[in-house]
Structure 1
Amino acid sequence: MTLTDEKICTDLALGASQYHGAVSPPIFQTSLFTFKSFESFTESQKQEREKYVYSRGVNPTVHLLEKKLAQLERGEQCKCFGSGMGAISAVFLSLLQSGDHVLFVNNIYGPTSQLLKHLEKFNIEHDVVDHNMKNVESAIKDNTKIIYVESPGTMLMKFVDLKALATLAKSRGIITAIDNTWATPLYQKPIELGIDLSIHSLTKYLGGHSDVVGGAVIGSHELIDTIFEYGHQLNGSVLGPFDAYLILRGLRTLPVRMAQHQANVSKVIEYLKQQEDVTAIHHPYVESGEMQTIVNSQMLGYSGLLSFELRQAHFEGVSKFIDALRLFKIGVSWGGFESLVNSPIKNDNEAQLKEQGIPLGLIRLSIGLEGAEAQIADLDQAFRKIKA
């Protein structure tokens, strides 16, 4: 993380002087903007990507957030949405047409995969490959339009060599997009590595307080302009000004929060390494060899999301451990103050998980900000309970 990133996160950007000395940006809680003349109104309509006309297009509070996120990601432009899936949907709906192919690389967030299955009825096909670059190259088709990657990937936190992926895609004229939510723009900058679009669920670390839902896409002026016209204006997944304010508030503490998440997760992982009921840990902190080289070349730090494999690899064993936790709350999402626990296993999906290569004993932890000592104590009493 650079000083520039800290300044982007904490600076008012538009200047406090124009807000009567206020240290927080104002919330422009309005649906529309009026004009002094009909001519100025019609001219602004022609430039609705830059001019404030209607808050489904551009709103000053949301616009400030978009400028900050574009700067953090080193991208030219950003567009914010009402959810992470709103952002992801906008990318596919804006850039794909009938006959196109999407290649998913690594473990992908479930609803993203579900969306592409839905698009099959419009003659848009997709395939999934692991993080091995040879397999990626072999899976590219003549009609591949987008390569979509998660790195680290969902659940198993595996890494992809983003620079190699971007180089390969550019040689074939393919657009690349990444869900960069896990790392945040502080700890991974895919656009600098050659990736075309970086996508975020603002619900997670960027909001940081589990009280707002949002999404963002950052990239070139050309791509974001297309996404704005079709995936934002017509799809209508709009981020409201108050939600944008909450995310701007979250950005101001992002550098210190991420540093603490990283400090806590490293201590928790060291504890998990010593547990006989843990058969594997999935997080970049534990990578070695070639994968560690890739991690060091493209990441500036680690977030607090990890997974581990419980020796009792069945629904009953996972349930007993999770139910024994007290500090860690059971729930979806991650990235807030509170520590959370979840697992992909259900009482009827073991065959499906095996097919997907997901270990049956996998448990995901979101390491929050309560402190590593309290988190480890809770895990320790849960491990003792499953042995009793």
Structure 2
Amino acid sequence: MDTSYLLTHLGEEREDYYNAVIPPIMQSSNFAYNSLADFRSAILNELDNFVYSRGNNPTVAILRQKLAALEQAEDALVFGSGSAACAVAIISQLQAGDHLLSVQSPYSWTYKLISKLLSRFGISYDFIDASNLQEIEAAIRPNTKVLFLESPNSLTFELQDLAACAALAKKHGIRTICDNSYASPIYQNPIALGIDLVVHSATKYLNGHSDVVAGVVCGSKALIQKMFELDYMALGPAISPNDAWLLLRGLRTLPLRIQKSNEHAKKVVDYLAQHPKVDYVLYPGHPSHPQYELAQKQMSGFGGLFSVNFKAKRIEQMERFSEALMPTFLLAVSWGGFESLQVPTACFYNLGTAPPPPLPFSFVRYYVGLEDPDYIIDAFEKAFVHLED
């Protein structure tokens, strides 16, 4: 299906709402029926009908169609956050006594879900180097039910061979789930590579305006139906119609935004990779990345997110350097919007409430947005004085 068609027209039955070009926000909590038979039929299949907006809603339904099509999936569910999407996707495939395998360094709240919450309900787990198929196979137990992947992850950008992981998991009857937030459906489609369920933090590229927190799970109709009927409806993580409408607005420009961010990031990464004050750059789209060939094989682009380790001797140098980059790079989490962002690891040192992170204080994650790359490079040029001895 053509991406332009699905982003602009798919699911938009304009004759149903007065031929308005943009679909309305159907801000109703519930829906009435004209007969008991129709009401009963809707209750029996709430995923495809409208009874109560905790389950399905007309504005959300349009969004679900577009997201599923983008991921080459049969159906999708939309959540109030990416963490909720990951949690429900994982929980829906497990029960007490099961075992889960996960990549070594998933998103922090996914890590906490697995290590802190699931273990309270009798679910065991192992974090593994999922770039190594032999390590995955060696960790599989008779009760292993889920292999959770995140390719690339959003800090140090390790990848997994998704097609190989999917084939291995299928051989053992294991369900695969992949967090695809880094690449977006524009640059990677895990379902096409054999993955069962794909999750997104829709807060990032899918929305793209830094004004909505949301999540997505895409998969087969059967898996989505099963998830919806119990886990989704019982936990109640639905997105509001207003936020769904904002996501629809964001999707219109998704290919344009991520392509421009990709172009800008490549230019900035090329500049940083050769700078004498840079130790190394981590960006799957740069030849220096240790899994560059795999990235080229299963991704068609890389977006604007990368990390840099600088040659700084003291944490005070990094603090001054990071502050000198403001406001070109805002000090903020997340990514995928118009604005460029930075998350310096130095910020997590000397907190007094937790041990320092495993990464050095000289490590910084950057997101390059839609600003001119020469403007961004100029900001780095001026800030590098703070790393001089």
TM-score category (smaller protein) = over 0.9
- TM, length-normalised to structure 1: 0.94
Deviates more, 1:186-195 or 1:34-43: 34-43
Amino acid at match of 2:246: L
The equivalent of 1:212 in structure 2 is 212
Partner Cα separation in structure 1 for residue 171 and residue 208 of structure 2: 38
Are the equivalent residues in 1 in contact too, given 2:10–2:65 (CA < 8 A)?
A: no
Cα drift, residue 104 of structure 1: 1.0
SS at structure 2 position matched to 1:318: helix
Asked if structure 1 preserves the Cα contact closer than 8 Å seen for 2:180 and 2:198, the reply is yes
Q: Does 1:122 align with 2:121?
A: yes
Separation in 2 of the partners of 1:209 and 1:242? 14
Alignment of 1:252-263 (within 5 A): 252-263=252-263
Distance 1:352 1:168 in 2: 36
Shift of 1:12: 5.2
Residue 353, structure 1, aligned to residue 357, structure 2: yes
Shift of residue 100, structure 1, vs aligned partner: 1.2
User: 2:88 & 2:240 partners in 1: Cα distance?
Assistant: 17
Q: Structure 1 residues 153 and 243 mapped into 2: Cα distance closer, same or farther (>3 Å)?
A: same
Residue matched to 1:239: 239
1:102 is matched with which residue? 100
The amino acid that maps onto 1:190 is: P
> Residues 277 and 54 (structure 1 numbering): CA distance in 2 closer, same or farther, change over 3 Å?
same
SS of the counterpart of 2:200?
strand
Distance 1:171 1:60, change over 3 A: same
Report deviation, 1:317: 3.6
For 1:351-376, what per-residue CA distance to the aligned partner results, in whole angstroms no more than 9, with x for missing partners? 6633xxx3442200011111111111
5 Å-filtered alignment, 1:324-339, equals 324-326=324-326, 327-339=328-340
Of stretches 362-371 and 289-298 in structure 1, the one that deviates more from structure 2 is 289-298
Aligned to 1:104, the other structure's residue is in SS state strand
CA contact 1:308–1:362 (8 Å) conserved in 2 = yes
Deviation at 1:91, TM superposition (A): 1.3
Residue 8 of structure 1 aligns with which residue? 6
SS of match in other structure, 1:279: strand
1:290-334 C-alpha deviation (Å, 9 max, x unpaired): 833321221111110000111226643432221121210001111
Partners of 2:256 and 2:286 in 1: CA distance: 23
SS at 1:262's partner residue? helix
Equivalents in 1 of 2:87, 2:172: separation in Å?
24
Q: Give me the whole-angstrom Cα distance separating, in 2, the residues matched to 1:313 and 1:27.
A: 53
Q: Distance in 1 between matches of 2:11 and 2:118?
A: 40
Task: After superposing the two structures, state which structure 1 stretch, 95-104 or 333-342, moved more.
Answer: 95-104
1:111 aligns with 2:115: no
Q: What's the CA shift for 1:94?
A: 1.6
Which residue of 2 is the match for residue 65 of structure 1?
Answer: 63
Q: Is the 8 A contact 2:308 2:365 kept in 1?
A: yes
Tell me if the contact between 1:84 and 1:201 (Cα under 8 Å) persists in the aligned partners: yes
Q: Which amino acid aligns with 1:308?
A: V
Deviations 1:199-229 (A, max 9, x none): 0011000000000011010011121112112
Per mean C-alpha deviation after superposition, the further-off stretch among 227-236 and 189-198 is 227-236
Q: 5+ residue gaps in structure 2? A: none
Q: C-alpha distance in 2, partners of 1:96/1:318?
A: 43
- Give the conservation status (yes or no) of the 8 Å contact 1:106–1:151: no
Contact 1:76 1:218 in 2 (8 A): yes
Equivalent pair of 2:277/2:387 in contact (CA under 8 Å): no
- C-alpha root-mean-square deviation of aligned residues, in Å? 1.9
1:169 Cα deviation after fit: 0.5
* Aligned mates of 1:363, 1:251 — CA distance in 2: 29
Stretch deviating more after TM superposition (14-23 or 39-48) = 14-23
Greater displacement, 320-329 / 14-23: 14-23
Q: Which residue of 2 aligns with 1:380?
A: 381
**Equivalents in 1 of 2:310, 2:140: separation in Å?**
36
**Corresponding position of 1:340:** 341
AA aligned opposite 1:166: A
Any conservation in 2 of the 1:267–1:372 contact (CA below 8 Å)? yes
TM-score, normalising length: structure 2: 0.94
Aligned equivalent of 1:161: 161
The one-letter code sitting in structure 1 at the alignment partner of 2:258 is M
Q: Is the CA contact 2:345–2:360 (under 8 Å) kept in the aligned structure 1?
A: no
Q: Specify whether residues 71 and 314 from structure 1 end up closer, same or farther in structure 2 by C-alpha distance, changes over 3 A only.
A: farther
Report how far residue 122 of structure 1 moved: 1.0
1:128 maps to amino acid: F
Moved more, 12-21 or 106-115: 12-21
Determine helix, strand or coil for the equivalent of 1:159: coil
Give the superposition deviation at 1:152: 0.7
Kept in 1, the 8 Å contact 2:318–2:387? The answer is: no
Please, which moves more after superposition, 13-22 or 198-207? 13-22
- Cα pair 1:106 1:160 within 8 Å, conserved: no
Residues 90 and 230, structure 1, Cα contact 8 Å, conserved in 2: no
Percent of pairs identical after alignment? 40
Structure 2 counterpart SS, 1:208: coil
CA, structure 1 residues 134+58, in 2 after alignment: closer, same or farther (shift >3 Å)? same
How far off is 1:106 after superposition?
Answer: 4.4
Aligned residues: 383
**Residues 18, 229 of structure 1: CA spacing in aligned structure 2 closer, same or farther, 3 A cutoff?**
closer
Opposite residue 339 of structure 2, the aligned amino acid is E
Could you say what secondary structure the match of 1:35 adopts? coil
